[in-house]
Every structure is written in C-alpha cells, then in structure tokens.
Structure 1
Amino acid sequence: MIAASARIHPLSVIEDGAVIGENVVIGPFCHVGPKVVLGDDVELLSHVVVTGRTTVGRGTRIFPSAVIGGDPQSIHHGGEETTLTIGERNTIREGVTMNTGTTDGGGKTVVGDGNLFLAYSHIAHDCIVGNNVILSNNVMLAGHVTLEDRAILGGGSAVHQFTRVGRQAFVGGLSAVSYDVIPYGMLNGNPGILGGLNVVGMSRAGMDKPTIHRVRRAYKQIFEGEGSIRSNAAAIRGEYLDCAPVMHILDFIASDSDRALSSPNRNKG
C-alpha cells in the first residue's frame, strides 16, 4: 500500500506488499522490500536498501548506501523471519547498517526515537537502542548490546556483545567497550577504562550542581570504597533514595548482566 502523497522516484523499486506512509520521499536507486513499513514523512535520499520485516518510524531520514533490515550476521541464523523496528525522527547517515534480530536473542532489534547514527556505524542483531543516542562514524555494536537514552559513542569505538551502556554515558573514540558502562560514566581506551563521570553531559542535560556533586560523591563511594563495586553500591542505596541519577546508577549495577562492570581499576569487580 502506497499513500497517494508519497513521492517515489521512477528509478527506485518498491516491492509489492510494502507499506509507504503519507508524504514519504524516496529518491533514485532505492530498494524497499515487500515486508517493509515506512511511516509518514520518512525520507530515503538515494541508493538506500530497506529490507526484511522492518518498520521505520515517522520523520526518519536515511542517507545513501545505508542497508537497513538485513539478515543478522550470526552463524546461528537459519533464515527465520525476525524484525527491526526503528522509531521516529532518526537520522541515519551514509553507509549505516542495521540488522534484524535472531530467534535465540528474542527475534527483534529495536531502535528508539531521535537518534543520530553517523556514517558507517553498525547496529547488529538483537540490539536495543534507546532515545537521543549518538553513534559517531564507524561505531560498531555487536549483537545483543543495550544502549540507554542519550548515550554518546565516539568514532571508531566498538562494543562487545551483550554489553550495556548506561544512560548519558560517554565513550571516547577508538575505545573498546568490553564491560558494562554505568549511567553517566565516561570510558576511554583499549581496553576501556572508566575515567569518571560525564559531568559536561550531565550539566548540558540540565542537571543542577548540587545533584552533580551528589552523583560524584556516590561514584567515589562505589568505586573507591573498600568493598566490591556491587557491595559498595548496595551499602549506600538508602542514602540516595531521593536522588534519581544516583538511583539510576545503583539500579544499573544491581541488574543482572552477562558482562562485568567497567571500573577505574581492572582488578576490582
């Protein structure tokens, strides 16, 4: 089904079964598969492939040479029908690749709203990406990675499979993210080392100075205390029940995960 208001270049291929919303613009040499849904106001500039059982939300723009909804790059994938769901108002720049999920991983890859994916960044199967995330050029997410809201990943960084990156965390360029990064954390290097808090990002997001000071105090208690990271975090929970950012960190640390936690000290767990 193609909305009457859609504008489709005659040199593009829209396969039967595709759903094309109102005011969609599809430039030349694009290919849209039969199980694709493009929401209202989506724009494919040119030379874009959208395939698989993929849904692209309202107002998302996709730039040339992007391949969206390709099969998961997993040796366990046997051709099963899985999904990729992309939210609204995303910007997907040149050469970006996003894959559908695998049956072993729940069968779906999910991308939220308002994200910016710069050139040649990759989102693998079964990733969960939140809202207002930025992936700089050539960022690579392995399978089953979770990025929480407002995380920023610098150019050329790579995230190990099953790893979580917390809300508003910052990962420096060329970093290797092998372990979970706490909310508001700042990680750099290969292997990646937690170097403190993303104070600049916290301030830009409107967090006031007293709250930032409390988060910094909690960070020191967690990572510089005598116990393990998790025992230190559990011990201070009652002190910060009224501080949402600290509770985000404590809940993140307490959550089950397949990966260890990034820390300033590689030998402390």
Structure 2
Amino acid sequence: MSNPLTRLRRTPLIVAVVVTAAAVLLAWVGDVLLERTARHRIASAAACRLRPSGPVSADLTGTLPGLRLLTGRVGTVRIAAEDVRRDGTSLSVAAELHGVTTGGAIGGGSATATLPYGELDGRLGSAAAGLRPGGDGHGGLVLTGTLAGLPLPLTVHARLSTDAGRVTVTPTGVSLFGQDIPVASLKADPRTAPLAGKLAPRSVTLPQLPSGVSLVSVVTDQDGLRMNLRLTSRATSGASHGCAR
C-alpha cells in the first residue's frame, strides 16, 4: 500500500505536468487556428490581386507561424495560383515572399510565371507553323514537327534570351534524318539556305510586369516557358484593384 505522504508529494508534480501539457496543447491549437486563418486571408488577398481563374494556395513556413502573427510579422509565405490572365495570356504563378507583415508589406522575394507551351505556340506566329515547342531538359527550347513549306520531319534547337520585356527564340541548329546541323552550316550551303531562311530569330512579347518586379531569366521546364522573377519591397505598392491589404 502506498504511503499517503508520498502521494501528497507527487501531487504538485502531477499538477505541474498536466498544466504544462494543457498550456502546450492550447498554444498548439491557437497556432493552428491562427495559421489557418492567416493562410485563408493571404490566399484571398492574392486571389483578389492576381484575379486567377484557377485555384490559389498560401503556405506559411517556419516554426509556430500562427503565433508569429501576434507580432505583426508573418515571415516567409509561399503562394501559388493557376490561370492568371495577363495581356491575353494564361500564366501559372508561384511566389516566395520574405519578410511579410500583417499589413501586407514584403521585404522581397522571388517568383516564377510559367507560360504553357500551347500559349507560346500561338505567340510564335506563322513562322513556326507546324512546329510544336517543348523543353530540351536543360532549359533550352526545341521545336518539333514539319516546317511550313518543307514537308520534312525535323527538330529545331533554339536559344532563349530576354531584353526589354521580350523573349527572343534564336534557332541554333536542326536535327534532320539523324544528323545535327548548325544553322550557320545551313546558311552556307545553297541547298539548305532556304531552310535556314525560315529559322530566323523570333521575339515574343511577355506580359507586362508590375512595379517592383523584374525579369531575371527565362528557361523551359516540363510545363512551359518559365520566367524567373525578382521581387522588391515595392512589389506590393501598385494598384490593388480595390483589394484590402
């Protein structure tokens, strides 16, 4: 039979453990609720500003993100949105924002805006008729199919460059009948010069970027033409379309 005195000595310890556990549980529940509310509000604000046709998601990173809201600083937020329409073009957008505050300001961040290959195909125009754009697995562009006026299956390898809100697709070579031929060699041979003439560089105008957002590079991935963007603190100072911050 246990000693009553021992039981009395254990009681404060048990109470302390229970109280501590309850406090931790309440803090965890509060954090989850705060984070869930914050994610919903951030996603709603992003949806209002981006006006996508597809879904928007928001995630808070780091430990105890919900409780950090009590200080007015959210920290790092990741946002993803599908089918964002800009200048008649559909884009998928993913952003990582740093130093986010509950007032809607950011310290900076990065983002990607992906132009699907189907959209790029339409913007390349008649010069690329019959050719389907795709990625080469290394960030470059390839166009496969039959070039208009030349009923021969070929693959065109192209380099991407950007300048003043435009991306230029510059063919560098073709794969034809199992042979890789540089465009310069096509131009030098009278027999293939007409083909080289159809492989002139083509420029595509990109959707206009808001203030505080700059284009870093353009590469291809499995989904399309990916624009890598840099965001400064001024990225949230533009028109808000009547959206609350």
User: TM-score per shorter chain, which class?
Assistant: under 0.3
TM-score (norm 1): 0.24
For CA contacts below 8 A with separation 6 or more, give which structure has more relative contact order: 2
TM-score (norm 2): 0.26
More strand by share: 2
Structure number, greater radius of gyration? 2
